[in-house]
Amino acid sequence: MQLVIFFVLAAITTVAGIIMVSADNIARSIYSHVLALLGIAGIYLLLYAEFMAGVQVLVYAGGVSIMLLFALMLTKPAKGVIRALDHPRRVPAFITAVVLFGLLSFSIFQAKWPLKVEPSRVMTPEVIGKSMFADYVLPFEIVSVILLVALIGAVVIGVKGREDTDDEE
C-alpha cells in the first residue's frame, strides 16, 4: 500500500516537474512547481516526517511560490508567455543536464546512507525540538544570523526598488 502511494506521489512530482520546466507560460510553470512541492510533502509524510511535510507546504508551497508569483508580476509578460527564456543553445544545455544527472545519481548510489532509522519512530515536533536544542545549538544560531543577512538583503532590494519605480497600482 505504502509503495503504491509512493509511486503515485513520485509520478505526480515528476510529471509536475517536467511541466514546470517545459511550460512556456510562467504562471502555469509556477503552479506545477507548487504541485511538485506538494508531492514531495506527501513523500515526507510517508517517511514519518510530518513536521518536515508541514514546513515543506508552509514555507515552499505557500511562501516561496507566492514570492515567485510576485516576481512574475514584476516582469512585463505578454499573457504570461516569455519567449526570451527559450534559449537557442539547447545542445550544450542538454549535455550539462545529462552530466549533472549522471553525477548526482552516481553520488546518490555511492553514498552510505544511515539506514538505522527505527521504523517505529515518528519524527514529531518534540523529537526535532529536543535534538535541535541538545545537539544542533550552534547550527541553529548560525541559521539565525544567515536569516538576518538575507533579511538585510531583502531590505536593500526594497529600498532600491522604491527609488527606481514610480508608484503605480
Q: Any residues with CB less than 8 A from the CB of 75 and at least 6 apart, and which?
A: 26, 82
4 binds other proteins (CB under 8 A): no
Nearer to other proteins, 47 or 97 (CB): 47
| Least separation in angstroms between CB 109 and other proteins | 29
The residue type of 123 is M
How many residues bind other proteins (CB under 8 A)? The answer is: 69
Region near other proteins per CB under 8 A, out of 67-75, 83-91, 93-101, 109-117 = 67-75
Q: Is 47 in the site for other proteins (CB under 8 A)?
A: no
Question: Which residues inside 68-127 make contact with other proteins, applying CB under 8 A?
Answer: 69-71, 73-80, 119-122, 124-126
C-alpha cell belonging to residue 64: 516561496
Q: How many residues does the chain have?
A: 169
Instruction: Give me the phi and psi of 78, to 5 degrees please.
Output: -85, 110
Region of 10-18, 45-53, 96-104, 105-113 interacting with other proteins (CB under 8 A): 45-53
Phi, psi angles (nearest 5°) of residue 168: -145, 130
Decide: residue 161, CB within 10 A, 0-12 exposed, 13-18 middle, 19+ buried.
Answer: exposed
3-state helix, strand, coil in the chain (%, to 5): 75, 0, 20
Binding residues for other proteins, per CB under 8 A? Answer: 25, 27-28, 31, 34, 38, 45, 48, 50-51, 54-55, 57-59, 61-67, 69-71, 73-80, 119-122, 124-126, 128-130, 132-134, 137, 140-141, 143-145, 147-148, 150-152, 154-155, 157-159, 161-162, 164-165, 167-169
